[in-house]
Amino acid sequence: MDVILSLEGLTKRYGDHVAVEGLSFDVPRGSIFGLLGPNGAGKTTTIRMVMRIILPDAGQVFLDGEPVDDDRRRLIGYLPEERGLYRKMKVLEHLVFLGTTRGLPSNEARKRASAWLERFELGEWADHKVEDLSKGMQQKVQFIGTILHRPRLLILDEPFSGLDPINARQIKDLLIAMREEGVTVVLSTHVLPQVDELCDHICLINRARPILTGALEDVRTRYGGNTWEVAGTFGAADVGQLGPVAAVHQLGERILAELAPDAAPRELLAGLLQLGDVETFVRFVPDLENIFIRAVEEDRQHVA
């Protein structure tokens, strides 16, 4: 696997409070990587350590195999959770300023910023003060500031908070387009449906520690287990009577048949065919929210 960003044993404590403990994961190049976890799990602390805004007590961060230092971190486009703009500055001036702090010459920054403002339909706002913009427009300006220096790796902390669905869609489409161009994106969020469609890799953090890491498809298979979604001329109760079925769940109109881990799916299918006609027989793919809740539950039981 071609890894762009690698965290090794990252740890941060504040007095007795452990914010992040022994966190390791690799971000594959060209992926959209979800750093997930409940509020207060340590996501923001982790990202701040990657960006060297706070320094870890232990552990290291590598970008393209080299330790991240104050120069290398500028190769990353970072949108912090706590973000803002100078309210009195004009939009275009502000973007030029952000571009120059990231090493762009000011005329180049101006050219790129104007193009992005046009693309986000903010062209006519270029000479307005930031405070005249709506919150959603300000968010877009912040996003432009993050990508202005064309970073190969983006780290976005709760990028969709405060955005309406249309603006969120716009940013999502852009992220997908950037992935096509080879840009890697690390997304931190606790709002799962937003990233379900985007992420191909995830790391789930709970109470300062990673509890689930890997490609989303693998994780889904692992948590989906031997569960099958079925439909046909039979009811949930009938399915529950079949030999290989350990449990039956009903999700609205859908019937989920959970088999014992070693049971063969064809035995279930054979049983169903005896009940009547089968219209649907597919492996159940859990969404991130299901996985998240189950993983956090298991982690709690594990600790208890």
- What is the binding site for other proteins (CB under 8 A)? 51, 53-54, 70, 73-74, 76, 78-80, 82-89, 97-98, 100-103, 142, 145
Nearer to other proteins, 122 or 245 (CB): 122
Of 207, 137, 148, the C-alpha closest to 170 is 137
Whole-number minimum distance, CB 249 to other proteins, in Å?
44
Q: Are 28 and 1 in contact (CB under 8 A)?
A: yes
Element (H, E) at 116: helix 106-119
Nearer to other proteins, 81 or 229 (CB): 81
What is the rounded CA–CA span in Å between residue 216 and residue 202? Answer: 6
What is the rounded CA–CA span in Å between residue 268 and residue 284? Answer: 14
Nearer to other proteins, 79 or 216 (CB): 79
What is the rounded CA–CA span in Å between residue 131 and residue 115? Answer: 21
Whole-number minimum distance, CB 109 to other proteins, in Å?
10
Whole-number minimum distance, CB 93 to other proteins, in Å?
8
DSSP state of 134: -
Of 34, 31, 103, 107, the C-alpha closest to 72 is 103
Nearer to other proteins, 142 or 226 (CB): 142
Annotate 189-218 with b (16+ C-beta within 10 A) or e (fewer).
bbebebbbebbebbbbbbbbbbbbbeebee
Q: To 10 degrees, the CA torsion angle through 52, 136, 100, 92?
A: -170
Whole-number minimum distance, CB 83 to other proteins, in Å?
6
Whole-number minimum distance, CB 301 to other proteins, in Å?
33
Nearer to other proteins, 45 or 206 (CB): 45
Whole-number minimum distance, CB 14 to other proteins, in Å?
10
Nearer to other proteins, 77 or 244 (CB): 77
DSSP state of 136: H
What is the rounded CA–CA span in Å between residue 292 and residue 180? Answer: 27
Whole-number minimum distance, CB 194 to other proteins, in Å?
21
Nearer to other proteins, 126 or 215 (CB): 126
